Amino acid sequence: MADGADDFRNYLERPRWLPIGAWHGLRALSLATVAALLWLCFAKPSLALALFWGLAVPVLPLVFLTLPGLWRNLCPLAASNQLPRLFGITRGLTLPAGLRRYAVLIGLATLFVAVSFRRVLFDHDATALAGLIGGALGLALLGGLVFKGKSGWCGSFCPLLPVQRLYGQTPLKVIPNSHCQPCVGCTKNCYDFNPQVAWLADLHDDDPWLGTDRRLVAGAVPGLVLAYFTAPVDAGIGAQLLHNGLYCLVGVGAYWLAEALFRQSAQRTTVVFGAVALNLYYWFASATLFGTLAERGAPLPVEAFAWGLRAAVLVLSIHWILRTFAKEPLFLAQTTGQAPRTQIAATVLAGHHARSAERPVVTLEPGAKQLVAEPDGLLLDLLEANDCSINAGCRMGACGADPVAILAGAENLSPCSDRERDTLKRLGYGEGVRLACSARVHGPVGVHLDPGMAAPAADAEPMDIPDDLRRIVIVGNGIAGVTAADVIRRHWKSGELYLVGAERHPLYNRMAITKLIYGRTAMQGLLLMPEKWYDDRGIHTWLNTRVRRIDPAARKVHLATGETLDYDRLILTAGSRSFVPPIEGFAREGCFTLREAEDAMAIREYVQAHDARHAVVAGGGLLGLEAAYALLRMGLQVRVLDRSDQLLSRQLDARASGHLRTYLEGLGLQLGFGKEVAAAQGDTRLRNLRLNDGTTLDCDLLVVAAGIAPNLLLASEAGAQTGRGVQVDERMRSSIEHVYAAGDAAEWRGAPGQVPGLWAVAVEQGRIAALNALGGDAVYAPKPVPVALKVAGVDLTSIGRFEAAQGDEAIVLEDGSRYRKLVLHEGRVVGALLLGHPELADAVVAAVDAGRDVGGQRDTLARGDWSGLQA
């Protein structure tokens, strides 16, 4: 199996092939062999010549091609060169620049002269051969005595180095350098340091002469090979030099011609020339090799073996060409596309790594991803930070946007709250499912993103249904309507249940619609249940359908399609629409409200179609800020205008609002206070806004988020009592018999004039309306609902009374940009505000929910220790 040609590790990064001691032993053996050869040169000259020229020299180029590292480690000249370093007697000088500059040419010239002298001298004169080998050993030793590392011979003048660099650039097996312990960095683009890259690095070096040397070598080698084997046998040295020199020049010329003609990279051209030279060499040398063996008594069919070797060399060299070709793009990609590095790897990253080792791991299916949780961190935060496909809405366990199946380690999650349990029940999930926003991770947990991987919930107890009840109609497909439908179906399997919704989508996560503005996914990520949810429960559903009229006397609902539905009980959950203050010219293109998914998609579409750059959001409430953040994420300049003097005036006090303002301005939002939009101006499209103070503001997109207006026309036309919404009692009954109302459209008589427009309120009212419609007796008892702002980096919780009223007391703590406030009434917690304290959110919400008496721990709380709230 060939080593990866794309593995550019240097020798220090590769595992040792043999222990250093073994290499030393082998090198001693190598030196002994060469000593024996020298001795043979005098004792048995013909045998020495045959062994050297007939066996060693024909075999070596194949070694250079396949296992060059073997030779680089065992070469006796290298061993000789490295002896002074091994025994600590080298002067260790740096090779002078001039010599360094011409080292390749010196080596190449030496090779040329040595080859030219073969025919006239070395091929048949063993004494001269001994002189050649001995001289080379001496020069290598001298180089090692004077110059540092391998720069005195192996890395510079060695006549075979240019050839080894060419052929050894894509070994079948990289055998790392075992000489240099340690590396002294003596040679530029050192072959022994990084054999796979050295040739390429020269060709692409900033110093163009390095590449020129390499091309010269590649061009000359085929010429030199052909020259030697075709040289006239009886010519003198002068004729030999001339003959060889001309051949080499023809080779070099051919090289330039090839580059000019084929316009391939220097890497490709040099490699093809190298392969040609190798095949030329073995064309002749194969016969020599097997001829030598045959002469020495091995009974070989020389011709057949020679042809076999020629074919083998051809195949090997083609393999080598392909592998070497493939390296260049990788080399270039790595050189020009290096990954950025940090110098802190050793300390900070590793330290961070070590700390995370103690943290709980969430194993996420599908994919078995191992995510490391923050201590006590929310599962939802973890999943979101890892870009998992998970929804999020209220982040309080009320909307049910983020159910996940817990496959293992359920005991390592924070316990399930009542609110979360109710939501899971509504969604039809039983044990084994949690809402990611409500589960804190204490230990290892296995999670599947598909909650369907856990078992479904058991059915609720059937109720005693009144005899006259056959059919219930629900108007509205928001969370109040769907909750009502679900509750009814749980208790009443057989009844006829109709649901009419004006929007075209099944129930979706309205709290996350701003994600449609900047996210890449459309509706799919927002849907809270599939379309077949209704069919599975036998709920007859009309989506994208409007109700024209209600006839309470005949108990009929007339649809705008012309159809009519009879009802025994009617539940109105028609929701609300955006409230738009009077703005002149609001009909212009580019003016939007944001209430339904369609609105968000229309905004995204408009921004793209008209390349909108400047947006104004009118209204600094929760929705306004979330819309502004979404537009900011899309890359627009965004200005938020609010008519009051602070942000989130219904959720925050002035201090908290100030902190939030600083952060949002840091994000890049521009904020303006005491300002209202008076007119939207332009031609057909919005160009600028006129404000209440007379100033104008250029912009190409306006989003009005000024609150909600309940949809109460149907109810009022039918004769129901309405205020801001459809007025209902604590059983969600309207003033018309058998007609209930819930959700945004309803105004509970217990809090006249208030239409909270909150998801959690709609869920509870939908449930109460459903139970009472079935003949039960359920009473609405509102609880404070925590609200949060879904803007990245804002950890905000506001619940109950956030400003101390008469007779209340407040505990306020501020720490940099973090802020927390607890409002107590006669010692009981009635409200809280948290900014930058996600870790306290659960405790605070629970304390307000329960109206916990903390009068005894005022001092502790004031000192900042709020752990007692949990109790």
Partner 1 sequence: MDSSAFFQYPGSRPAKAEAAMCLLRNASDEQWQKLLAHTTSRRFAAGEWLIREGETDDALYFLGSGELEVLMPRGRGATRRLAVIRSGSVVGEQTFLDHQPRSTSIRALSEGEVFRFSRERFLVFSAREPALARDLLLDLGRIVSLRLRDTTRLLAQGR
Strand partners, 689: 680, 697
Least separation in angstroms between CB 656 and partner 1: 17
Any contact of residue 12 with partner 1 (CB under 8 A)?
A: yes
DSSP letter (8 states) at residue 840: G
Least separation in angstroms between CB 539 and partner 1: 36
Any contact of residue 864 with partner 1 (CB under 8 A)?
A: no
Stretch that binds partner 1, among 4-12, 67-75, 716-724, 776-784 (CB under 8 A): 4-12
Any contact of residue 511 with partner 1 (CB under 8 A)?
A: no
Residue 346 makes CB contacts below 8 A (sequence gap 6+) with none
Stretch that binds partner 1, among 176-184, 406-414, 605-613, 725-733 (CB under 8 A): 176-184
Any contact of residue 266 with partner 1 (CB under 8 A)?
A: yes
Binding mask 626-645 for partner 1 (x = CB under 8 A): -------x------------
Helix (H, G, I), strand (E, B) or coil at 845: helix
**Of the residues 64, 122, 193, 429, which one makes contact with partner 1 according to CB under 8 A:** 193
Q: Is-contact 854 825, C-beta < 8 A?
A: no
* Residue 415 or 668 having the CB closest to partner 1: 668
Stretch that binds partner 1, among 160-168, 327-335, 474-482, 609-617 (CB under 8 A): 327-335
Binding mask 123-162 for partner 1 (x = CB under 8 A): ----------------------------------------
**Of the residues 338, 524, 684, 806, which one makes contact with partner 1 according to CB under 8 A:** 338
DSSP assignments along 643-710, one per residue: SSSSSSTTT--HHHHHHHHHHHHHHT-EEEES--EEEEEESSBEEEEEETTS-EEE-SEEEE---EEE
Helix (H, G, I), strand (E, B) or coil at 794: coil
Q: Which residues of 28-39 are buried (b: 16+ CB within 10 A; e: fewer)?
A: eebbeebeebbe
Stretch that binds partner 1, among 7-15, 275-283, 436-444, 846-854 (CB under 8 A): 7-15
Q: Is-contact 146 152, C-beta < 8 A?
A: yes
DSSP assignments along 235-261, one per residue: --HHHHHHHHHHHHHHHHHHHHHHHHH
Least separation in angstroms between CB 90 and partner 1: 17
**Of the residues 212, 265, 279, 414, which one makes contact with partner 1 according to CB under 8 A:** 265
**Of the residues 15, 464, 467, 520, which one makes contact with partner 1 according to CB under 8 A:** 520
**Of the residues 120, 126, 166, 190, which one makes contact with partner 1 according to CB under 8 A:** 190
* Residue 335 or 494 having the CB closest to partner 1: 335
**Of the residues 345, 654, 805, 871, which one makes contact with partner 1 according to CB under 8 A:** 345
Any contact of residue 670 with partner 1 (CB under 8 A)?
A: no
Least separation in angstroms between CB 625 and partner 1: 14
DSSP assignments along 2-28, one per residue: PPPTT----GGGSPPSS-HHHHHHHHH
Least separation in angstroms between CB 362 and partner 1: 10
**Of the residues 462, 793, 855, 864, which one makes contact with partner 1 according to CB under 8 A:** 793
The identity of residue 166, as a single letter, is L
* Residue 148 or 243 having the CB closest to partner 1: 148
Stretch that binds partner 1, among 68-76, 193-201, 565-573, 851-859 (CB under 8 A): 193-201
Binding mask 366-405 for partner 1 (x = CB under 8 A): --xxxxx---------x--xxx------------------
Any contact of residue 584 with partner 1 (CB under 8 A)?
A: no
* Residue 372 or 465 having the CB closest to partner 1: 372
CA–CA gap between residue 499 and residue 471 (Å, rounded):
11
Question: What six digits make up the tokens of 813?
Answer: 């703590």
Q: How many CB atoms lie within 10 A of CB 649?
A: 15
With tokens 């020229």, the residue in question is: 53
Give the side-chain half-sphere CA count within 13 A for 663: 22
* Opening angle at CA 819, ends 816 and 820, nearest 5: 150
Any contact of residue 611 with partner 1 (CB under 8 A)?
A: no
**Of the residues 146, 293, 407, 667, which one makes contact with partner 1 according to CB under 8 A:** 667
Stretch that binds partner 1, among 74-82, 310-318, 340-348, 472-480 (CB under 8 A): 340-348
Least separation in angstroms between CB 377 and partner 1: 9
The identity of residue 67, as a single letter, is L
Residues 200-229 that bind partner 1 (CB under 8 A): 200-201, 204-206
Phi/psi for 755 (5° steps) reads: -125, 90
Least separation in angstroms between CB 436 and partner 1: 14
CA–CA gap between residue 402 and residue 435 (Å, rounded):
5
Residue 38 makes CB contacts below 8 A (sequence gap 6+) with 130, 133, 134
Helix (H) or strand (E) holding 630: helix 622-633
CA–CA gap between residue 373 and residue 371 (Å, rounded):
6
The identity of residue 670, as a single letter, is Q
Q: Is-contact 497 539, C-beta < 8 A?
A: yes
* Residue 347 or 561 having the CB closest to partner 1: 347
Least separation in angstroms between CB 361 and partner 1: 7
Least separation in angstroms between CB 512 and partner 1: 14
CA–CA gap between residue 857 and residue 831 (Å, rounded):
16
Least separation in angstroms between CB 341 and partner 1: 5
Residue 221 makes CB contacts below 8 A (sequence gap 6+) with 163, 166, 251, 273, 274, 277
Pairing of strands 556-559, 696-698: unpaired
Least separation in angstroms between CB 441 and partner 1: 12
* Residue 116 or 194 having the CB closest to partner 1: 194
Helix (H, G, I), strand (E, B) or coil at 499: strand
Question: What six digits make up the tokens of 842?
Answer: 């659960």
Least separation in angstroms between CB 613 and partner 1: 17
Stretch that binds partner 1, among 52-60, 258-266, 543-551, 749-757 (CB under 8 A): 258-266
Give the side-chain half-sphere CA count within 13 A for 711: 19
With tokens 């020298």, the residue in question is: 38
**Of the residues 1, 458, 553, 792, which one makes contact with partner 1 according to CB under 8 A:** 792
**Of the residues 124, 188, 577, 614, which one makes contact with partner 1 according to CB under 8 A:** 188
Any contact of residue 353 with partner 1 (CB under 8 A)?
A: yes
CA–CA gap between residue 398 and residue 438 (Å, rounded):
10
Least separation in angstroms between CB 788 and partner 1: 15
Any contact of residue 9 with partner 1 (CB under 8 A)?
A: yes
The identity of residue 534, as a single letter, is Y
**Of the residues 1, 233, 260, 339, which one makes contact with partner 1 according to CB under 8 A:** 339
CA–CA gap between residue 66 and residue 168 (Å, rounded):
7
Any contact of residue 330 with partner 1 (CB under 8 A)?
A: yes
Whether residue 366 has a cis bond before it, omega within 30° of 0: yes
Number of chain positions touching partner 1 (CB under 8 A)? 70
Any contact of residue 260 with partner 1 (CB under 8 A)?
A: no
SS (H, E, C) 586-629: CCCECEEECCCHHHHHHHHHHHHHCCCCEEEEECCCHHHHHHHH
Q: Is-contact 568 469, C-beta < 8 A?
A: yes
Any contact of residue 349 with partner 1 (CB under 8 A)?
A: yes
- The distance of Cα 525 from the centroid of its chain, to the nearest Å, equals 19
Any contact of residue 296 with partner 1 (CB under 8 A)?
A: no
Any contact of residue 6 with partner 1 (CB under 8 A)?
A: yes
Pairing of strands 670-673, 677-682: unpaired
Q: Which residues bind partner 1 (CB under 8 A)?
A: 4, 6-10, 12, 182-185, 188-190, 193-194, 197, 200-201, 204-206, 263, 265-266, 326, 330-350, 352-353, 356, 359, 361, 368-372, 382, 385-387, 520, 633, 663-664, 666-668, 792-793
